[in-house]
Structure formats: structure tokens, C-alpha cells
């Protein structure tokens, strides 16, 4: 039996952390180690971590100064000993068969990564995800799909099903040799890392059964407007340059399409915010990206229909 290292970055999630840890410790796949990285929490998260470690020897806790999710995941990777790596966010929960399903398929398909869809749950429904729901029988007829390295990259950048998040996936540990999460980015750091990892893989298996439950909070990083949102543009522009330098120009158009999606999404969020100077500057930057990228999107048959229609409509808005 192969060991799985479950890495859980923690920052000020004391109220949610017990449910997360309980769901991980209840996994039907038992050969696991749980590496919990307390990333400088100012609430009682650290004490919760230590309490669980005292009760279950599979848990290792590390306390460090706050460095962000990338720094926490990187610290976890330094400590992890498993043949496989799984990342779980500390305010989410997983079905008891989450790891069992993923490792079964990754080994059956001789894949390098197994991924399942995540189920988005409104914060107001969090209490509904009790032990009963996390232990309910899964469908015995769930489907799987195997993708090549290129297919996974295109699917991720064109947003056609392959999520760029590090949770919801089981990785062969070898994929992270010499690869870490970039601490300079606070958003889209996952996408950057996946873009480095996918060229290393032979195949990835998509397991069509939702066993990861992501609780969407209105105050979450991706739903807020801040200067950090510039990171999204910088990540994608960096990837475009990398694809050219590393002889992968086939991915440049896909990365540019993802950058267009980011611009449209930020504008949508800005429409709900006050018209501060910072927000106006961000809106201006978004429009610069849109004007540069929309002609390509309209002509790109791989582009999402949503992007192509919005690109056409943007010409009317500019008038």
C-alpha cells in the first residue's frame, strides 16, 4: 500500500478546522500522514492543530510565521514522506472515500495525477455537511477520462473542466521534485504551478465523482478586489513568455484566453464595488487587456462561447 501525504495549510480557520481534520482522519484509505502547517494564525488554529496531533499519531504539525498559502504548502512538501501528495484547504471537507477513489484510479490508469470535481457549497449550507453526508455511498458507475499532458494544459487554460487548483488532485510526489509554489503570488499561484507540472506528466485521469466540498465565502480571496488581483495578470503573462522560451508556443493562445477571462471577471466584480481611484485604475487595466485580446478570442474556435460573446459585446460598451 502506497502512503499518501495530505498537506493542509492553516491560517485563522479555527472554527472550520475540526470538521476538515475529522473528514481527513476518517478516510477509508488508511495509509496516510497528515502534515498541518499553521501559517502564523492569530486565532486558536494552532492550538486546534496541536490538540489533534496529540490524539492521532498520523498528524505532524508545523508552526511558522505567516507567509501565505504558497509558503505553507512548500513547507508541507519539505516534510511530506508519502509517494503521493494531496492538498486540502483547512476550511473544506472531503468524503470519506476521497483518497481511496483517487489512488485507485491513479494506479489503475498508471497516471501521474488523479483529479475529481469539487462541489461548491454556499457558506450558509456548511452545517448540512455532517458525517452522514460525508459517509453516504458513492455511485458505483462513475466515469473516468484519461487526458494527455497537452490535453490537460489546454483544458485548464481554456477552462474546459480541468481545474487549476491544487486541491481535488492526487499527485505523484516526483512531480514536485525541484518545483515549489511561488510565494510572490497570492492568487493564481496554483495555475502557475500546474503549468509547470503538466508538461512533466504522461497522463492525468479525471474521476467524475464529487468527493471534495469547497465552501464558498463571500469574503474569500477570489471574490474580493485588491491589489493582489494584479497577480493574476502577471502569472498569465509570465506563462505566455515561458511557453515561448521553452518551446511550447502552442499554449500561448490558450494562456491569452485565460487572461481575457480574468479581465472580464475582475470587471464584473468591480461593478459591485465603489468607484475608488484604485478600482478605476484596475478597471482601466482590465480594459487594456480586453482590447488587446478580444479580436483573437472572437476568432478562436476553442475559446469559451461566453468569452466570445462578451468580447463582441465589449465593442458596444466601448462606444
Residue 271 has pLDDT above 90, yes or no: no
Q: Which three cell numbers stand for residue 17?
A: 478546522
pLDDT for position 186: 83
pLDDT for position 221: 45
The verdict on 106 and 197 lying in the same domain is yes
| Three-state secondary structure string covering 163-202 | CCCCECEEEEHHHHCCCCCCCCCCCCHHHHHHHHHHHHCC
CATH number at residue 16: 3.90.550.10
The average pLDDT across 294-312 equals 96
The verdict on 137 and 210 lying in the same domain is yes
Residue 23 has pLDDT above 60, yes or no: yes
The verdict on 207 and 252 lying in the same domain is no
Q: How far apart are CA 43 and CA 90, in angstroms?
A: 14
The verdict on 15 and 75 lying in the same domain is yes
Contact 113, 193 (CB under 8 A): no
The verdict on 118 and 193 lying in the same domain is yes
Average pLDDT for the chain: 93
Residue 220 has pLDDT above 50, yes or no: no
The verdict on 125 and 266 lying in the same domain is no
Q: How far apart are CA 86 and CA 80, in angstroms?
A: 10
pLDDT for position 227: 53
CA 221, 225, 227, 230 torsion-angle sign: positive
Q: How far apart are CA 14 and CA 91, in angstroms?
A: 9
Full domain range(s) for residue 257: 225-318
The average pLDDT across 177-204 equals 95
Residue 11 has pLDDT above 80, yes or no: yes
Strand ranges in 99-155 using DSSP code E only, listed in sequence order? 113-115, 118-122, 144-148
Q: Strands 59-64 and 118-122, how do they pair?
A: unpaired
The verdict on 120 and 148 lying in the same domain is yes
| Domain boundary pick from 216, 245, 277 | 216
What are the C-alpha distances in Å from 196 to residues 161, 246, 257? 18, 11, 18
In the structure, what pLDDT confidence band is assigned to residue 121 with cuts at 50, 70 and 90? Answer: confident
| Domain boundary pick from 216, 242, 257 | 216
The verdict on 229 and 284 lying in the same domain is yes
The verdict on 13 and 160 lying in the same domain is yes
pTM: 0.93
CA 33, 34, 39, 42 torsion-angle sign: negative
pLDDT for position 222: 41
Contact 72, 10 (CB under 8 A): yes
Report the number of distinct structural domains present in the chain. Answer: 2
Q: pLDDT tens, 242-257?
A: 999 999 999 999 999 9
Best CA proximity match to 73, nearest among 168, 180, 164, 193: 180
The verdict on 115 and 248 lying in the same domain is no
Supply the angle between the helices 230-245 and 277-299 in degrees, to the nearest 10. 40
Angle at 58 between CA 6 and CA 89, to 5 degrees: 30
Q: Which residues of 23-58 are buried (b: 16+ CB within 10 A; e: fewer)?
A: bbbbbebeebbbbbbbbbbeeebbebbeebbeeeee
| Domain boundary pick from 187, 216, 245 | 216
Q: How far apart are CA 60 and CA 72, in angstroms?
A: 13
Q: Among the listed ranges 117-121, 128-132, 159-163, which one has the minimum average pLDDT value?
A: 128-132
The average pLDDT across 155-168 equals 94
The verdict on 174 and 261 lying in the same domain is no
Q: pLDDT tens, 82-100?
A: 999 999 999 999 999 999 9
Q: How far apart are CA 252 and CA 239, in angstroms?
A: 8
pLDDT for position 109: 97
CA 75, 224, 192, 238 torsion-angle sign: negative
The average pLDDT across 164-178 equals 97
Q: How far apart are CA 1 and CA 182, in angstroms?
A: 32
The verdict on 48 and 146 lying in the same domain is yes
Sheet holding 144-148, edge to edge: 59-64, 32-39, 4-10, 84-87, 169-172, 113-115, 203-207, 144-148
Of 178 and 227, the structure prediction assigns the larger pLDDT to 178
Q: Which three cell numbers stand for residue 303?
A: 475559446
Q: Which three cell numbers stand for residue 307?
A: 468569452
Q: pLDDT tens, 200-215?
A: 999 999 999 999 999 8
Contact 208, 116 (CB under 8 A): yes
Amino acid at each position: 500500500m502506497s502512503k499518501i501525504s495530505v498537506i493542509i495549510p492553516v491560517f485563522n480557520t479555527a472554527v472550520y478546522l475540526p470538521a476538515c481534520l475529522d473528514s481527513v482522519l476518517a478516510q477509508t484509505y488508511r495509509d496516510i500522514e497528515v502534515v498541518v502547517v499553521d501559517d502564523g494564525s492569530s486565532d486558536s488554529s494552532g492550538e486546534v492543530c496541536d490538540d489533534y496531533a496529540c490524539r492521532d499519531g498520523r498528524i505532524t504539525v508545523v508552526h511558522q510565521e505567516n507567509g501565505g498559502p504558497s509558503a505553507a504548502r512548500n513547507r508541507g512538501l519539505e516534510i511530506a514522506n508519502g509517494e503521493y501528495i494531496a492538498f486540502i484547504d483547512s476550511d473544506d471537507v472531503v468524503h470519506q472515500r476521497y483518497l481511496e477513489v483517487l489512488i485507485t484510479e491513479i494506479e489503475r490508469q498508471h497516471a501521474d495525477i488523479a483529479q475529481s470535481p469539487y462541489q461548491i457549497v454556499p457558506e450558509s449550507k456548511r452545517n448540512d455537511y455532517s458525517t452522514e453526508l460525508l459517509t453516504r455511498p458513492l455511485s458505483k458507475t462513475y466515469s473516468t477520462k484519461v487526458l494527455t499532458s497537452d490535453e490537460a494544459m489546454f483544458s485548464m487554460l481554456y477552462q474546459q473542466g480541468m481545474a487549476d487548483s491544487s486541491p481535488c488532485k492526487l499527485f505523484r510526489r516526483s512531480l514536485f521534485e525541484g518545483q515549489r509554489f511561488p510565494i510572490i503570488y497570492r492568487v493564481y499561484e496554483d495555475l502557475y504551478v500546474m503549468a509547470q507540472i503538466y508538461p512533466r506528466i504522461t497522463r492525468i485521469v479525471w474521476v467524475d465523482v464529487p468527493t471534495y466540498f469547497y465552501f464558498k465565502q463571500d469574503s474569500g480571496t477570489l471574490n474580493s478586489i485588491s491589489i493582489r488581483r494584479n497577480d493574476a495578470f502577471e502569472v498569465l503573462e509570465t506563462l505566455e513568455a515561458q511557453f515561448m522560451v521553452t518551446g511550447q508556443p502552442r499554449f500561448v493562445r490558450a494562456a491569452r484566453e485565460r487572461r481575457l477571462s480574468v479581465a472580464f471577471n475582475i470587471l464584473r466584480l468591480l461593478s459591485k464595488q465603489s468607484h475608488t481611484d484604485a478600482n478605476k485604475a484596475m478597471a482601466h487595466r482590465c480594459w487594456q487587456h480586453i482590447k488587446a485580446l478580444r479580436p483573437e478570442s472572437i476568432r478562436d474556435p476553442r475559446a469559451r462561447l461566453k468569452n466570445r460573446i462578451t468580447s463582441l459585446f465589449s465593442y458596444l460598451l466601448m462606444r
